[in-house]
């Protein structure tokens, strides 16, 4: 895997970056190519996360235009909302110009602010981001669509350092069966599996917050943790290290690119759910790769 750099934006010669991303590469812009005022960056970095009204997980929900992770009455709530909304809008505009074919069908997911130094964080295994993993969202199954994440490093001096591994196809061919792909594929298709999903849908329809999951989503959620727990994979997989300097922006499919963050503080991020039918090569989607490995439909 590699980094594909966009030296200048807009580019003289527009280019389709879909294949680069779908192959498991990172698209990198050394200087953030959209407006992100210094005062907004300073404001985000000045927030105090000492267990008061502001929490460590700040998210901006694009669909409902709401910020979570801060008490509504907090003095900084209005400004934080403005700054997160403006980041989200600006990054969305940039990415829709960069990847118009994706933009035609994508679903905007959350934006987030990551205020904590990543080096030496003490978190439970499943939440640790210093262990290499592919992303999957417990509360937002994608049914085979892909997770594209765009990050901006707003720390004035520190780089954000990532370790990545070979893309999903290579990792899945080696580990998906050991991780239980066949069982998961069969259990969702079984009578018990169908019943479980039918009752989840019923409960959901009357407002109970349960999440019906396709076999694909069950597997991806499990694989996230499986990779984190797999000491052979963590120690021996081929690794690539990337340093993202202050004021840079970068993006990749975080379900295609196994990744971890080794160090860095103060990043902002926007997530997009990319429809798999808008891929330049739909057979490069993790869903297609897994279906090929197990020979069963996983998101029917
Ligand atoms: C992750 O998605 O695992 C963390 C990436 C980051 O915050 O740099
Ligand atoms: Fe991740």
Give residue-wise pLDDT tens across range 154-205: 999 999 999 999 999 999 999 999 999 999 999 876 777 777 777 877 887 8
- Quick check: is 51 in a domain? yes
Is 129 a pocket residue for ligand 1 (Cβ < 6 Å)? Answer: yes
- The answer to whether the CB of 264 falls within 8 A of the CB of 154 is no
- What is d(CA 36, CA 247) in angstroms, rounded to the nearest whole number? 9
Contacts of 211-214 with CB under 8 Å at 24 or more apart are: 211/138, 211/139, 211/141, 212/141, 213/141, 214/141, 214/143, 214/144, 214/188, 214/298, 214/299, 214/300
**Residue 260 Cα, ligand 1 centroid: separation in angstroms?**
6
Q: What is the pLDDT of residues 85-102, one digit of tens each?
A: 999 999 999 999 999 999
Q: Please report the pLDDT score of residue 189 as a whole number.
A: 66
Residues contacting residue 242 through CB under 8 Å, at least 6 positions apart: 3, 26, 28, 161, 162, 164, 250
- Quick check: is 299 in a domain? no
- What is d(CA 183, CA 189) in angstroms, rounded to the nearest whole number? 10
- What is d(CA 244, CA 154) in angstroms, rounded to the nearest whole number? 10
Q: Dig out the tokens for 94 from the structure.
A: 């940039």
Q: Give, in order, the Cα–Cα distances in Å from 117 to each of 52, 107, 268.
A: 18, 30, 13
Ligand 1 site-directed mutation target among 115, 118, 228, most atoms within 8 Å of CB? 118
Nearest-CA residue for ligand 1 atom 5 is 261
- What is d(CA 285, CA 282) in angstroms, rounded to the nearest whole number? 6
What whole-number percentage of the chain has pLDDT above 90? Answer: 85
**What rounded mean pLDDT belongs to the chain?**
94
**Residue 116 Cα, ligand 2 centroid: separation in angstroms?**
15
Is 268 a pocket residue for ligand 1 (Cβ < 6 Å)? Answer: no
Can you give the pLDDT of all 300 residues of the chain as single tens digits? 999 999 999 999 989 999 999 999 999 999 999 999 999 999 999 998 877 888 888 999 999 999 999 998 888 999 999 999 999 999 999 999 999 999 999 999 999 999 999 999 999 999 999 999 999 999 999 999 999 999 999 999 999 999 999 999 999 999 999 999 999 999 876 777 777 777 877 887 888 777 789 999 999 999 999 999 999 999 999 999 999 999 999 999 999 999 999 999 999 999 999 999 999 999 999 999 999 999 999 998
Is 265 a pocket residue for ligand 1 (Cβ < 6 Å)? Answer: no
- The answer to whether the CB of 110 falls within 8 A of the CB of 62 is yes
Residues contacting residue 224 through CB under 8 Å, at least 6 positions apart: 126, 133, 134, 135, 136
- Quick check: is 242 in a domain? yes
- Quick check: is 274 in a domain? yes
Q: Dig out the tokens for 99 from the structure.
A: 């990847």
- What is d(CA 129, CA 119) in angstroms, rounded to the nearest whole number? 10
- What is d(CA 96, CA 85) in angstroms, rounded to the nearest whole number? 16
- Nearest ligand 1 atom to alpha carbon 160: 8
Is 267 a pocket residue for ligand 1 (Cβ < 6 Å)? Answer: yes
Q: Which ligand is in closest contact with the Cα of 128?
A: 1
- Quick check: is 300 in a domain? no
| CATH classification at residue 209 | 2.60.120
- What is d(CA 228, CA 99) in angstroms, rounded to the nearest whole number? 31
Domain that holds residue 144: 3-294
Short-list 28, 117, 41, 43, CA closest to 78 = 43
- The answer to whether the CB of 141 falls within 8 A of the CB of 241 is no
- Quick check: is 46 in a domain? yes
- Write out the E strands in the chain: 3-5, 26-29, 54-61, 66-70, 107-114, 146-153, 160-165, 239-244, 249-253, 259-263, 267-274
Q: What pTM does this model have? A: 0.95
Structural domain total, the chain: 1
């Amino acid at each position: 895997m590699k980094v594909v750099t966009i030296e200048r934006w807009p580019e003289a010669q527009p280019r389709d970056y879909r294949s680069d991303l779908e192959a498991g590469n990172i698209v990198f812009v050394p200087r953030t190519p959209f407006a992100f005022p210094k005062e907004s960056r300073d404001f985000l970095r000045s927030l105090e996360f000492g267990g008061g009204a502001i929490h460590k997980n700040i998210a901006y929900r694009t669909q409902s235009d709401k910020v979570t992770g801060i008490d509504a009455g907090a003095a900084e709530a209005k400004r934080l909302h403005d700054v997160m909304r403006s980041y989200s809008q600006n990054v969305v505009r940039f990415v829709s110009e960069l990847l118009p074919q994706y933009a035609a069908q994508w679903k905007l997911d959350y934006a987030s602010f990551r205020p904590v130094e990543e080096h030496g964080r003490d978190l439970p295994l499943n939440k640790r981001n210093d262990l290499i993993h592919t992303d999957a969202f417990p509360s937002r199954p994608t049914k085979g669509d892909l997770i594209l994440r765009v990050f901006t490093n707003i720390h004035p001096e520190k780089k954000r350092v990532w370790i990545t591994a070979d893309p999903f196809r290579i990792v899945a061919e080696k580990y998906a069966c050991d991780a239980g792909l066949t069982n998961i594929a069969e259990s969702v298709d079984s009578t018990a599996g169908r019943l479980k999903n039918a009752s989840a849908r019923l409960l959901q329809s009357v407002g109970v917050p349960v999440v019906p999951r396709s076999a694909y989503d069950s597997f991806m959620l499990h694989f996230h943790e499986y990779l984190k727990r797999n000491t052979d994979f963590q120690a021996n997989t081929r690794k690539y290290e990337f340093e993202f300097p202050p004021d840079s922006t970068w993006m990749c499919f975080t379900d295609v690119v196994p990744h971890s963050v080794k160090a860095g503080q103060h990043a902002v991020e926007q997530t997009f759910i990319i429809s798999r039918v808008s891929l330049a090569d739909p057979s490069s989607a993790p869903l297609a790769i897994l279906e090929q490995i197990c020979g069963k439909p996983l998101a029917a």
